[in-house]
A = this chain, B = another copy of it.
């Protein structure tokens, strides 16, 4: 699962920004915020470029966004790349960490008549083990 290969597969130009983002996201193993990704990136890219890269990668279903409340956005590899099923996400109220709960599949809900669904988000908020032990 190399950044260059992924970009080639999707016929996207292999720019250093895109490769860098993918490198960081792949190695992270958990969803990262824009700033967390930037901190782990060698080059210094304009925010515009960053946003456009994220957008492109999202449109090609290479990464996906997880949004907590208003202002916290985290990025992780898309399920089509990780071969995972749709899963719930955990958010730690203390340290802002987000974790993919790979073993917790998203339940299929029965909607009222006339409604059709195409995506379900489950976000479980609480305290992670690290923060729990800090008290």
Contacts and interface: CB of A to CB of B under 8 A. Distances in A.
Interface of A: 65, 67, 69-71, 73, 88, 90, 93, 101, 103-104, 107, 109-129, 132
Secondary structure class of chain A's binding surface, majority of residues: strand
Contact of A119 (B112, B115, B126): B126
Question: What number of copies of this chain does the assembly contain?
Answer: 2
Given A67-B70, A73-B70, A125 B114 contact: no
Given A88-B109, A117-B125, 17 more contacts: A67-B69, A70-B71, A90-B115, A90-B117, A104-B109, A104-B110, A104-B111, A109-B124, A113-B129, A114-B128, A115-B127, A117-B126, A118-B126, A119-B126, A120-B123, A120-B125, A122-B122
